[in-house]
Amino acid sequence: MRLNQATDYAFRAVLHLAQLPPGEVVEAQVIAGRECIPIRFLLKILRLLTKAGIVNSHRGVGGGYALARSPEKITLLDVLTAVEGPVRINRCLVDPEFCSRQGPPHCAVHNALRAIQTTLIQQFQSYNFAQLAGRTSSRPAGEKLKSGEPATGSAITGPEPVNA
Amino acid sequence: MRLNQATDYAFRAVLHLAQLPPGEVVEAQVIAGRECIPIRFLLKILRLLTKAGIVNSHRGVGGGYALARSPEKITLLDVLTAVEGPVRINRCLVDPEFCSRQGPPHCAVHNALRAIQTTLIQQFQSYNFAQLAGRTSSRPAGEKLKSGEPATGSAITGPEPVNA
DNA sequence: AGAAAGTTCACCCAAGCAGTATACTTTAGG
DNA sequence: CCTAAAGTATACTGCTTGGGTGAACTTTCT
């Protein structure tokens, strides 16, 4: 139930690019150095992001990487699926082959898991990198937002850790 | 980003017990047979559930397993953490050792992940096995609930799959 | 031409997942 | 009290994934 290290690195690499002036190209070396990511591994991750159309790569001497579109059009979900593939909480949900309960169309547990997965995905989708790049750390706390708040952003605010 | 097979089996084993008359003891063999779970593997999982106080085991000839408390007091989260340990979406969130961004108290990405993890946990907590055992499959669809709805149940309803 | 960037492909080691094996303890019943 | 039917304990195995490295290549600027 956890996302892997490459995804975490990818988040921070994209965040790094999002904090730069738009269109700015920066070498992988610089990102690796500033974010403490092993360079070879970062390059591998950046290739995934390139293939997914999230960043553009520039080869040759003054080369490097830049965001392929504006940060508010890039969500955590975009980066997550670029690195790990589609989110699936349970293999059963996507591949009925694996479900040992063939009887009912889907058992109660799987309906629940499907619902959980759906909101999880929506959550990842609700964060974009313009938001994240905005305030470097802890949100202003006074943050009031009309509970309709559409379009680009507005994640459910869940500030304090709940357990463990 | 997925939960493992043992957890899925555990969910269905507990659901099986929840669908029986309260206090009924049933052998692992039977659960394994009906839910198509490899018996040895199921026994291993049942030991985890026993240690966590979710089921009680009865040894000897007429032995078997039964729920240790009433089904509405057992949530998906209980079973999940019994099998997999505490939910942590990102090792960074729990073990600052691993965070390469020591600079700010926590970077924007991690604040977002923390919030996502919190709602994820709440989601798993919002399903109990009395609910799940009740309607075998698809919820009644007309399901209206006051958006305050406390205590035992009431998950956020997220009916249709969102992508992939 | 050559240095500085990214690309490709292939490899490696460790950990976790899914499941199995063996030997044991407890309990009911004859 | 012996035995069979249940669960318990510990350890092992094969496989996949995660996390990362190596070496040789291509592109581009100067």
Q: pLDDT tens digits, residue range B74-86?
A: 999 999 999 999 9
Within-domain flag for B114: no
Specify whether the CB–CB gap between B77 and B125 falls below 8 A: yes
Q: Over range B87-92, report the average pLDDT.
A: 86
In angstroms, the separation between the Cα of residue B112 and the nearest Cα of chain A is: 8
3-state helix, strand, coil in chain B (%, to 5): 50, 5, 45
Nearest to B115 among A84, A104, A156 (CB): A156
* Range scoring the smallest mean pLDDT among A7-16, A116-125, B15-24, B101-110: B101-110
Distance A62 CA to C4 C1' (A): 7
Q: Find the domain containing B16 and state its range.
A: 5-85+126-134
Size of interface A-B (CB pairs under 8 A): 176
CA pair distance B16, B34, nearest whole angstrom: 9
Question: What does the pLDDT look like over B30-64, one tens digit per residue?
Answer: 999 999 999 999 999 999 999 999 999 999 999 99
pLDDT attached to residue B106: 65
pLDDT attached to residue A107: 82
B144 pLDDT exceeds 50? Answer: no
pLDDT attached to residue B98: 53
The answer, for A159 touching chain B at a CB cutoff of 8 Å, is yes
Count up the domains in chain A and report the number.
1
Strand runs (DSSP E) across chain B, as ranges?
55-58, 64-67
- DSSP character at residue B57: E
Distance B64 CA to D30 C1' (A): 79
pLDDT, averaged per 10 consecutive residues of chain A (164 residues), comes to 94 97 97 96 98 98 97 98 95 62 68 95 98 62 38 38 38
Within-domain flag for B28: yes
pLDDT attached to residue B142: 35
Within-domain flag for A161: no
**Phi, psi angles (nearest 5°) of residue A19:** -85, -10
Within-domain flag for B116: no
- Of B69 and A162, which is predicted with more confidence? B69
Within-domain flag for B102: no
Within-domain flag for B30: yes
pLDDT attached to residue B37: 95
Angle at B86 between CA B81 and CA B90, to 5 degrees: 135
Q: Give the DSSP H or E segment for A12.
A: helix A5-18
The per-residue pLDDT of chain B, averaged, comes to 82
Within-domain flag for B149: no
CATH code, A120: 1.10.10.10
pLDDT attached to residue B91: 77
pLDDT attached to residue A75: 98
Which positions ≥6 away from A48 have C-beta within 8 Å?
A10, A82, A83
Cβ-defined contact of A8 to B90 (cutoff 8 Å)? yes
Within-domain flag for B71: yes
What percent of chain B has pLDDT above 70?
Answer: 73
Strand C positions with any atom < 7 Å from protein CB? 2-10, 16-22, 25-29
